[in-house]
Amino acid sequence: MLVIAGLGNPGPDYAGHRHNVGFMAVDVIVDRHRFGPPRSRFEAIVSEGTIDAEKTIALKPMTYMNDSGRAVAAALRFYKLAPARLIVVHDELDLPAGRIKVKRGGGNGGHNGLRSIDAHIGPDYWRVRIGIGHPGDKDMVSGYVLHDFAKAERAWLAPLLDAIADNIGEFALGGDAKFMNRVARATRPAPEKPGKPGTAAGTNTGAAPAKDDRN
């Protein structure tokens, strides 16, 4: 069994924020794999389903970002799962917009949702980090993450979320590197068509070439 937890803040005022990209990813996963109806449990919105024959719990904590660990820890305790069976999907300021990295364990990088989860269950869980870019000034970070994605950013956001949902089952098979490679290929800009120099065949900005980051 896997638990996939997307991080974000509850309520319509936060729904489109960059900080809520983890919620957005879980919503696409639930829809793509036809999970059961959502219900309130563990101080979270929970849906159950199957991905590549692996029973999977999709979870969105309703405790606000800074207290995400409470809901995540309650779910792991109930299902008697080790942290290694948890995948947390979250925004990452220190990655360029549209890039992803996968990592198990490590620090929280100042992310309050990860800090809360670490405090409740320790750091030995998987993270799918979705790059949202950095505003360039630390004093602008709060306003930047708590603001909707710009219209232009949605050109890479939707294909990236689709690719994550399509390939998330690789974790059940121990294929985190394969997951990153497939997401990178799916979101890479299409090559120009022969005979039409200067005209791109695709519009996606794409993810970074895959690299298994375990450091």
In a domain, 215, yes or no: no
In a domain, 125, yes or no: yes
Give the chain's mean pLDDT.
87
> Would residue 19 show up in a list of annotated catalytic residues for this protein?
yes
In a domain, 202, yes or no: no
Question: Do the Cβ atoms of 91 and 130 come closer than 8 Å?
Answer: yes
Question: Rounded to an integer, what distance in angstroms lies between the CA atom of residue 67 and that of residue 120?
Answer: 10
Q: What is the pLDDT of residue 189?
A: 66
Residues 189-212, mean pLDDT to the nearest whole number? 44
Residues 195-204, mean pLDDT to the nearest whole number? 40
Question: Do the Cβ atoms of 7 and 22 come closer than 8 Å?
Answer: yes
Q: What is the pLDDT of residue 207?
A: 44
How much of the chain exceeds pLDDT 90, in percent?
Answer: 72
In a domain, 120, yes or no: yes
In a domain, 49, yes or no: yes
Question: Rounded to an integer, what distance in angstroms lies between the CA atom of residue 29 and that of residue 143?
Answer: 28
Residues 6+ apart with CB under 8 A from 135: 141, 143, 144
pLDDT-derived band at 118 (thresholds 50, 70, 90) equals: very high
Residues 108-118, mean pLDDT to the nearest whole number? 94
In a domain, 212, yes or no: no
CATH of the domain at 106: 3.40.50.1470
Residue range 39-59, pLDDT digits in tens: 999 999 999 999 988 999 999
> Measuring CA to CA, which residue among 54, 48, 53 is closest to residue 34?
48
Q: What is the pLDDT of residue 92?
A: 95
Residues 75-90, mean pLDDT to the nearest whole number? 96
In a domain, 156, yes or no: yes
State the residue range of the domain holding 163: 2-187
Q: How many domains does the chain have?
A: 1
Report the Cα 26 to chain-centroid distance in Å.
Answer: 7
HEC secondary structure over the chain: CEEEEECCCCCCCCCCEHHHHHHHHHHHHHHHCCCCCCEEECCEEEEEEEECCEEEEEEEECCCHHHHHHHHHHHHHHHCCCHHHEEEEEEECCCCCCCEEEEECCCCCCCHHHHHHHHHHCCCCEEEEEECCCCCCHHHHHHHHCCECCHHHHHHHHHHHHHHHHHHHHHHHCCHHHHHHHHHHHHCCCCCCCCCCCCCCCCCCCCCCCCCCCC
Which of 17, 19, 33, 90 is flagged as catalytic? Answer: 19
Q: What is the pLDDT of residue 133?
A: 92
- The pTM is what? 0.85
pLDDT surpasses 90 at 185: no
**Tokens describing residue 51:** 């991905």
In a domain, 206, yes or no: no
Question: Do the Cβ atoms of 59 and 41 come closer than 8 Å?
Answer: no
